[in-house]
Structure 1
Amino acid sequence: MVDWSGGNDRGAAPKKDAIWAGVNRGGVAEDPVYLRNRQVAETWLTNLLSQERAAGRRVLAGFDFPFGYPAGFARALTGSDNPIDLWHWFEERLADTPTDNNRFELAGQINCAVGHGRGPFWFTPHGKQVEGLPPNKKDYVNPFSEKRQSETLAKGAFTCWQMGGAGAVGGQVFTGLPVLARLRRQFAAAVWPFDELNRDVALVEIWPSLTVGDPPEGMIKDAWQVAEVARQIAALPVDRLARMLDVQASEEGWIFGLGFEEELTAPPLRNDCFALPPGVHWTPVDEALAMLRDRLGPVTPTASVSLGDALDHIAATDIVAKRDNPPLPNTAVDGYGFSGGRAAGAHSLPLIEGRAAAGDAPGAVPDGFAIRVLTGAALPDGVDTVVLQEDVVRDGDSIRFSGPVKQGANTRKAGEDVRASEVIVTAGRRLTAADLALLAATGVSEVTVRKALKVGVLSTGDELVEPGQTANDGQIFDANRPMLLGLIRRFGHEAIDLGRAPDDREALRNRFDAASAEVDVILTSGGASAGDEDHVSALLQEAGAMSLWRIAIKPGRPLALGLWRGVPVFGLPGNPVAAMVCTLVFARPAMGVLAGAGWSEPQGFDVPAAFTKRKKAGRREYLRARMRDGKAEVFASEGSGRISGLSWAEGLVELPEPAAEISPGDMVRFIPYGSFGV
């Protein structure tokens, strides 16, 4: 990982604001490397990449400056949208030595070519004058977006148009891209996110401040940050790294780790992340839920999508309004507009010619005059009050009406609904059609969302056959897989059918290996207890990443939780009723966290019981139930083999752990299936 600099040679002794590199090989961090100027840095990088390739190792090389510019700039300068063409353009024109370079002059030339000498670049050092390059933003005009999409999402990120000053990256881009162009050519390197990452060397864009804070006392910040970024990335499992690199930004580029800050800065899921405290044999439901909530985090990558494609996606970041809604004061009714309120009594006002309708540019109305206005029209200057047309008598070129009329009547103020820069959708919300209306009304056309959580469903057991096949004596049809796949789709995730695995440990191991490269979560049913043929729990135990949670719940109890190659595995009971209840109660909220939507509790309602029940103390029970005549009925049998009760029910009655005797009319908690999202 490299912290770049656009400045001059910094001398032999290590200093801040120089070029620093952090190297991590095989999980082992090396001391940060000080590189006094860009020529020394390019030689060092060339030697490093040559050595690593000769040793048969692959290299992920990160650089802390933008790999692209806001949309449209590459085409304006090179005639092509390909950002690599822009790299070559800079390589051909930048003159660079250890003590000087022409970056400011080159920025001025670009401004004259594409921005009439007033932008998009700005800033010159004190006392330096450059033709076409504004010294500051006073007379600056930018024909392009101020920031790339990634920079608008990375709080504190600087624009690439600023050529100098504290925190600026403009000079680093000018001096860095030519070096990357040569490294890319010499080592046939892949450039993220522009190329497919299937080569020995990959170049990625980083911003250390995204995930690294202040250094320990006495250490240079740049040196500390590159070492920390290298450590964070080296600690990622290969599949997690691949998911973080799964980004679409073919013109502007992207900042590695954006949207994954919590995952990079927090310790990754450990093999013991589901471990129970010593001595715990039965886990209460609330404690089990709390442990899941606290130990999991988002695992899904982010992507920028158009508003039309955003429905049902989860917002990866807070979304802010780009303009007020309404953008201008406007009229809420058809009528006549004028200035100021009117007291009780009769009033008459002359009309000016024309009218104000929705979409018209606001005009002006002299004091003492009125104008015809239609619903939604922006209020002309001099109008702050509207009287309904039904309350007006028009007499030629004047109107008559009776007061009182309150000042501001029948009008809407600019921004009375939403103000520009106000957060209108919070991160973690699954976007609805109503959200899309709000986003569109406030000028938002693209949003950063999380890609759908990929949940693989695997059934285990020699006794299972597919519906439609012939079932021999002792075999049953697989009811769990279609049920679980359906539940996952209703939760809003991508359901991946992993099929059935026999009671063979090696076959199951191979299924797990293949699934871990394809999905974000694995859901199994069966084999989750501790018997001879419970291979799910046995494999997770063998991998050192398993905890068998015996939960104080009915139906249910055994829940095997663990990691397989960094992918969470939920080993559900094989009984369909228990599998469904455990999915709704435990897997659903956990998958919400993994998907980036956060933890959610189902909404329950206290209703009268229409049944009699004597309950023992110790376990939380869930009864299949439905509402009839304002009361909760429960299924005739509590047997966990009665699958028909799942279809009969419309939800669950939840009975807490203490002993209870329930009679008709007593209040119980009913949770409709809809509260679980199904």
Structure 2
Amino acid sequence: MSLLPLNDALARWREALDAAGALRRLPAETIPVAQAHGRVTAAAVWARISSPHYHAVAMDGYAVRSAMTEGATEAGPVRLRLGRDALYVNTGDALPEGFDAVIPQEETRVEEGWLEVTHPVRAWRHIRIIGEDMVSTELVVPAHQRLRPQDLGAIAGSGHNAVRVFRQPRIAILPLGQHLAPPSPHVEPGQIIEFNSMVLAAMAREWGAVANPFPPQDGDLDALIQQVRAALDDHDLVALNAGAAGGARDYAERIIRALGEVVVRGVALRPGHAVILGHARGKPIIAIPGFPVSAMTAFERIVRPLLADWLGQPEEHPPRLQALLPQTIVSDPDMDEFKRVIVAHTYRGAVARPLPQAAGAIMTIVRADGVIHIPRGQDGVPADSYVQVALLRSPESIAHTIIHIGSHDLALDILADQLRRAHPDRSLNSLGVGSLEGLQALARGEAHLAGVHLLDPATGAYNIPAVRVHLPHLPVVVMRFVQRAQGLILPRGNPKNLHTLADLTRP
């Protein structure tokens, strides 16, 4: 498979989509304001009424004519007749005709039908005048704005009960392949739990789409073509998950060719190079890899910008953090590579450490704090370089995370759960790589603590000799955490009567 550079692939695909009429803005629809959170306006919203649309009382108290309070002092208060010169009002009431100020209730003294005023009151005190917030015909929100909660309030407050928005993109996600099973603890060897469609659908919904994950598709080629044709009828984009690598039962390319045109076959993207981009019946259709991390990477780089265009939105970028990279990263100069990393705030500042890059290991995305992009044409990143990390978690949550690297134990997972229960703003992220690598990670400033169980053959002592060798200049504390018992796991009942390691040598 010849791989096209990522930017070239996207440009070629978008040119073909434009020619096929698939890059047009989505049609608009009118929906209730109360249901419009997160939607994108298709037209500007102009205030139909002012807010407030009357002179509104802003405090509980008494409406008065300010001119009648001139000269009032503590020693010589002005007395106003209740019901004639002073009227009791509540917050939100319309200001009575002929009155121009409100004295808060706590600043007054009432005696036998008279209100005593001890200070002059300026005109329009504690009054919200007409149009103080919005004036009729004022622009409330422009077109192409993603609506936030405060926007909904402003639209409703300006006299609208409905708003014109772009229709949400409809995305169909069809997982292809044999032996795909629904999530369950009861799966047979060779069966693969299918969860990619769930993950991709959730991503698309975060970007403002309506996503429809289909059940796993495992028919013959003709049946699959019919299923994809039906999906194209009801959706704006169809994503085939798996089937693009070119194996005997990788039908994605043949499906797309049967229904439309293949524009790009293979993208220089890692993870996620097994990608096919095309269109059919005036709509985009893509095939992305079956490995979870590859699927997520390809989906984000390819589908997210397209959805933003359809909705008239700029492509959103995650917050970034500059971090030190103590280790050299090797990269293929022919690829755009996206490396998952964890970030620790240690004595060296913000420090990034690459996670295992297996395309099928979704836990590397679960544990990742962010992603480093190594552009095509670059063969890696030298040690002790500073890199930009596109964050998958907030900077605050990363700063409040304890990073453990080293020998793993189930007790660490229990501790991580208990820590989050007791302190919801704190996390423990544990990466099991072995004792020696844990000490080296601590020395490089990549972690806050390292799990070790290293025996020194010369002295018979555990851990202390290794710490002195690998961390000679780093002030550390060694804590006893868990004690392990090693042994043999045997079938129930111990049918071979094994009791010691020596018993394993018996014929």
Q: Do Structure 1 and Structure 2 share a fold, with TM-score over 0.5?
A: yes
Partner of 1:398: 115
In structure 2, relative to structure 1, the CA distance for the partners of 1:620 and 1:372 (3 Å cut) is farther
Match among 344, 358, 361 for residue 642 of structure 1: 361
Alignment pair present for 1:579 and 2:277: no
Structure 2 unaligned regions, length at least 5: 396-507
Could you tell me which of 348, 373, 390 is aligned with 1:670? 390
Query: 3-state SS of the aligned residue for 1:574?
Result: coil
Q: Superposition pairs for residues 529-568 of structure 1, below 5 Å?
A: 529=245, 533-541=249-257, 543=259, 545-548=261-264, 550-568=266-284
Q: Aligned partners of 2:141, 2:371: CA distance in 1, in Å? A: 31
- Superposition map of 1:420-569 within 5 A: 420-462=136-178, 464-468=180-184, 475-502=191-218, 504-529=220-245, 533-541=249-257, 543=259, 545-548=261-264, 550-569=266-285
> Is the CA contact (8 Å cut-off) linking 1:330 and 1:414 kept in structure 2?
yes
Rate the CA distance shift 1:350–1:470 in 2: closer, same or farther, 3 A.
Answer: closer
Task: Say if 2:30 is the partner of 1:304.
Answer: yes
Aligned counterpart in structure 2 of residue 332 of structure 1, from 51, 58, 80: 58
Q: Hey, what does 2:96 align to over in structure 1?
A: 380
Kept after mapping to 2: 8 A contact 1:393/1:401 = no
Q: State how 1:208-287 maps to structure 2 within 5 Å.
A: 281-284=4-7
1:652 and 2:367 are equivalent in the alignment: no
Distance change >3 Å, CA 477–CA 306, structure 1 → 2: closer
Q: CA deviation at 1:645?
A: 1.0
CA distance in 2, matches of 1:344, 1:606: 62
Q: Work out the CA distance in 2 between the residues paired with 1:631 and 1:286.
A: 34
Q: Using the alignment, how far apart are the partners of 2:372 and 2:52 within structure 1? A: 46
User: Contact (CA 8 Å) 2:340, 2:354: kept in 1 or not?
Assistant: yes
Answer whether contact 2:197 2:214 (CA < 8 A) is retained. no
The amino acid of 2:56's aligned partner reads: N
RMSD over aligned Cα, in angstroms? 4.1
Deviation at residue 582 of structure 1 after TM alignment: 1.9
The structure-2 alpha-carbon separation of the partners of 1:555 and 1:502, relative to structure 1 and needing over 3 Å to count, comes to same
Q: Is the 8 A contact 1:610 1:631 kept in 2?
A: no
Trace 1:85-164 onto structure 2 (pairs within 5 A).
none
Local SS of the residue matching 2:381: strand
Partners of 2:325 and 2:387 within 8 A in 1: no
Q: Secondary structure at the match of 1:511?
A: helix
Cα separation, 1, equivalents of 2:187 and 2:365? 23
User: What's the secondary structure of 1:436's corresponding residue?
Assistant: helix
Structure 1 555/344 Cα, relative in aligned 2: closer, same or farther at 3 Å?
farther
CA displacement 1:407-429 (0-9 Å, x = unmatched): 54433232221222333234444
Q: How many Å apart are 1:520 and its aligned residue?
A: 2.0
Structure-2 change in CA distance of 1:606 and 1:322 (3 Å): same
Cα offset for 1:348? 4.4
Residues 340, 355 of structure 2: 8 Å contact kept: no
Cα distance in 2, alignment partners of residues 473 and 428 from structure 1: 50
- Mark the CA change 1:549 to 1:425 in structure 2 (over 3 Å): closer, same or farther: farther
Post-superposition shift, 1:636?
A: 2.7
Percent identical residues: 23
**Distance apart, 1:299 and its partner CA:** 6.2
Q: Retained in 1: the 8 A contact 2:3–2:267?
A: no
Report how far residue 581 of structure 1 moved: 1.5
If the length of structure 2 is used for normalisation, what is the TM-score?
0.62
Does 1 or 2 have the higher relative contact order (CA < 8 Å, sep 6+)? Answer: 2
Q: Distance in 1 between matches of 2:210 and 2:227?
A: 19
The whole-number CA distance in structure 1 between the counterparts of 2:305 and 2:390 is: 18
**Structure 1 pair 371–588 and aligned structure 2 pair: CA distance change class (3 A):** same
* Contact kept in structure 2, 1:324 and 1:415, CA below 8 Å: yes
**Alignment match, 2:128:** 412
What is the DSSP-based 3-state SS (H/G/I as helix, E as strand, rest coil) of the residue aligned with 1:579? helix
Q: Post-superposition shift, 1:475? A: 5.0
Matched AA of 1:283? L
Structure 1 distance, partners of 2:343, 2:99, is 56
Q: Cα distance 1:321–1:661, how it changes in 2: closer, same or farther (>3 A)? A: same
The Cα shift of 1:469 comes to 9.4
Q: 1:661 aligns with which of 369, 374, 381?
A: 381
Partners of 1:590 and 1:599 within 8 A in 2: no
User: Which residue matches 1:612?
Assistant: 327
Conservation of the 8 A alpha-carbon contact between 2:323 and 2:386: yes
**Relative to 1, partners in 2 of residues 1:391 and 1:661: Cα closer, same or farther, differing over 3 Å?**
farther
Shift of residue 601 of structure 1?
A: 1.4
SS at match of 1:444: coil
1:310 Cα deviation after fit: 4.0
Structure 1 segments unaligned to the other structure (5+ residues): 1-278, 355-364
State the TM-score, normalizing by the size of structure 1.
0.48
Matched letter for residue 355 of structure 2: A
Instruction: Identify if the C-alpha distance between structure 1 residues 289 and 614 changes in structure 2 by more than 3 Å, giving closer, same or farther.
Output: farther
Q: What is the letter of the counterpart of residue 524 of structure 1?
A: L
TM-superposition CA deviations, 1:450-499 (whole Å, max 9, x none):
44432111112235444449866655332322222333344443322333
Question: Are residues 650 and 606 of structure 1, via their aligned partners in 2, closer, same or farther at CA, if it must alter by over 3 Å?
Answer: closer
Of the structure 1 ranges 317-326 and 529-538, higher mean CA displacement relative to structure 2 is found in 529-538
Q: Distance in 2 between matches of 1:348 and 1:626?
A: 70
